[in-house]
Amino acid sequence: MKIDVLTLFPGMFRGPFEESMVRIARRSGRVDLRILDLRDFADEPHRKVDDRPFGGGPGMVLSPVPVARAVEHVLDGADPTADGAPRLLLTSPQGRHFDQPQARSLSTAEHVVIVCGHYEGLDERVLEAFPFEEVSIGDFILTGGELPAMVIVDSVVRLLPGVLGDPESIENESFEGDLLDHPHYTRPRSFRGRSVPDVLLSGDHEAIATWRRERSIERTAARARG
């Protein structure tokens, strides 16, 4: 899988993408992850990437010039509207809420391009020129789209075949079905006066499965009530 992240702040990605599952996926060749600086696609000598909005108002707007050039660069001549074309994402507070089904859908793509939104937004003409999927990780405002891009990449990369050691861990976790995950326990059997439920020590796999499902139902109902 190939992932290109287009950003104004490439340095933000050095730590997160050099650790944990993303690092493993990169080193194993399961993902080709590139971080591109949008300023490299702006006009010299000032490499300007934003400007004041036409019509007035506060803030700045991300210029269409460097974004369009960067997207065309990573597309490398591919038609973004063709079947099997790279998936183009824009991190934006106006986007649809990113969720596990969308992460699964993206994990099957050969190429994903993420543009990190900034300022008051992106010039509308770029949104009209390219089939962007606008995505948000929640109803709150961040200083930029870099953190959402990290979240999206992490959630997608861990779904790639061979990245996680045990594929069943993906199938049985929260948000893969209608229920939240059940409680988990490990050694020691007793911790500060609290013991592991006896059923988990019984070796009765059917009883364990029943107990886990019942706890998942209880937890989901409790969290739904707030």
User: How does residue 226 score in pLDDT terms, banded at 50, 70 and 90?
Assistant: low
User: How does residue 119 score in pLDDT terms, banded at 50, 70 and 90?
Assistant: confident
Please check the confidence at residue 138 and state whether its pLDDT lies above 90: yes
pLDDT of residue 74: 97
- Mean pLDDT for 85-102 is 95
- Each residue of 112-127: b (16+ CB within 10 Å) or e? bbbbbbbbebbbeebb
**pTM exceeds 0.75:** yes
Domain boundaries, the chain: 2-157, 178-224
Contact 59, 120 (CB under 8 A): yes
CATH of domain 2-157: 3.40.1280.10
Q: What is the pLDDT of residues 32-48, one digit of tens each?
A: 999 999 999 999 888 99
Domain 178-224 fold is: Trp Operon Repressor; Chain A (1.10.1270)
